[in-house]
Chains A and B, each alone.
Chain A
Amino acid sequence: MDWWLELVLRVVAVTVAFLVLPLLVGQTEHKVMAHMQARLGPMYAGGFHGWAQLIADGVKFMQKEDITPRAADGPVFKLAPGVALIPYLLALLVIPLGPGDLVGQPLDIGLFFVLAIVGIGVVAVLMAGWASANKYSLLGGLRGAAQLMGYELPFVLAAASVAMAAGTLSLPRIVEAWEPWWLLWQLPAMVIFFVAGVAEIRRPPFDMPIADTELVFGYMTEYTGLRFAFFLLAEYVGIVVISALTATLFLGGWHGPMAESLGWLWMLLKTGAVSFVVIWFRVAWPRMREDQLQRLCWLVMVPIALAQLVLTAAVRVAMAQ
């Protein structure tokens, strides 16, 4: 009975995080982006500084007609938003929130699991792009696929560096092994991981697959109503997952003053700070062209990630002796 209770509790907690954190990030984006552009952003919904704007948006999306284009490949088209969303839900399951047992599911190969499951995003992008039967969607989908394939490599290499440093693939144990001087040692890996992560979730400046000025809305062009909302939600859960992973792997997760009792707070604060940077990039930087995007990945990030791996290995060997 106890076992069942715990299971339900953990699943409910992860689901709540899955539903609440993206909304928080989205609302923060509304307000931060507005103020960075010398605007106020939503001010009416909910009364106080538009706190309920995203709830209102959600209600609006639910009321909209759900259209499937006649030429679209129905089942694939309808399934794609779910495929985009579910991996992030599962990824949240293994990210540790605090010390000890404060994690949805402590998994020995947590890092491997997260990297594998975040990679599923490319399938959703291809499904949406191909099934929409629209040339813009297809272009966006293929750009997305090329981008995700490319950036997967530095993403995984940077994560491998920290796994090598900690000597484990379990996320909670990586956090336990983390020490402040890793900030310097793993700095290149952190930058690579974060930038590749932003590219993984197709956020500006890496939003070439969406590129609304040239591709309408890329692979999401034909989506309406709730399915479109799912794609948007996936984007914001993506921010949460990438930020939480960056915080877990490189910023020491729950480490901080009074980590035993306040660890969860430090983890949330670090995740929030990284999410803020993701939003900041979107406001400040223009979109990268397709060729620049691939060039950055293959000619800059992959070599740096490999060099970091060599550095990590060298320091590990030196420390073992």
Chain B
Amino acid sequence: MSGVPGFGLGKGLAITLKTLVSRSTTQQYPDVAPDLPPRSRGVIALREENCTVCMLCARECPDWCIYIDSHKEEVVVPGAARPRQRNVLDRFDIDFSLCMYCGICIEVCPFDALFWSPEFEYAEFDIRHLMHDKERLDEWMATVPAPPAHDPRGELSKEEANALKKAGAE
């Protein structure tokens, strides 16, 4: 069929006509909020109380856009033999003018202190304002969605699998 002269021309006309009569999927962004897929990478949010200043995120960051300062504080626990030491976060900045949204910091965080938020409307006129400090990062926490449900037919999480194994062993 494709050997017939003009077949391609007719096909071109048919395709454009079909596209013309089918509905356009354009989302009119500033007027209509975009329909973002789950796990959209908009901005990184920080839950400060979960952070132990382990510095993994800052060290793994490929473009070094995370700045962390901290100091040690003595905590006297009543009844304990010695006062304990704990890290207190002084500064946690992410420079979104450098960030390339790879998400390694979020993957690597052992204490669930960093999260993806789908908010993306934080453009600035001054590049220096793209440096978000820990208060600003904490504000983004409110926009973090609940994690999407597991795929019902997918593989079980490690914790669930372990729990099942344990239950079976007993």
Contact = CB atoms under 8 A, between A and B. Distances in A.
Interface of A: 32, 34-40, 43, 280, 283-285
A196 to B, nearest CB: 17
18 contacts: A34-B24, A35-B19, A35-B20, A36-B16, A36-B17, A36-B19, A38-B24, A38-B26, A39-B24, A40-B28, A43-B28, A280-B13, A280-B17, A284-B9, A284-B12, A284-B13, A284-B16, A285-B12
Q: Interface residue tally of chain B, by bracket?
A: 10 to 19
Interface in B18-72: 19-20, 22, 24-26, 28
A285 B19 CA distance: 15
B15 interface: yes
Nearest to A37: B19
A285 B13 CA distance: 8
A37 B25 CA distance: 11
Given A280-B13, A283-B16, A35 B24 contact: yes
B26 A40 contact: yes
Nearest to B12: A284
A38 B13 contact: no
A275 to B, nearest CB: 15
A293 to B, nearest CB: 15
Contacts of A284: 9, 12-13, 15-16
A284 B17 CA distance: 9
A34 B26 CA distance: 11
Given A37-B19, A38-B22, A284-B15, 8 more contacts: A35-B20, A36-B19, A38-B19, A40-B24, A280-B17, A284-B16, A285-B9, A285-B12
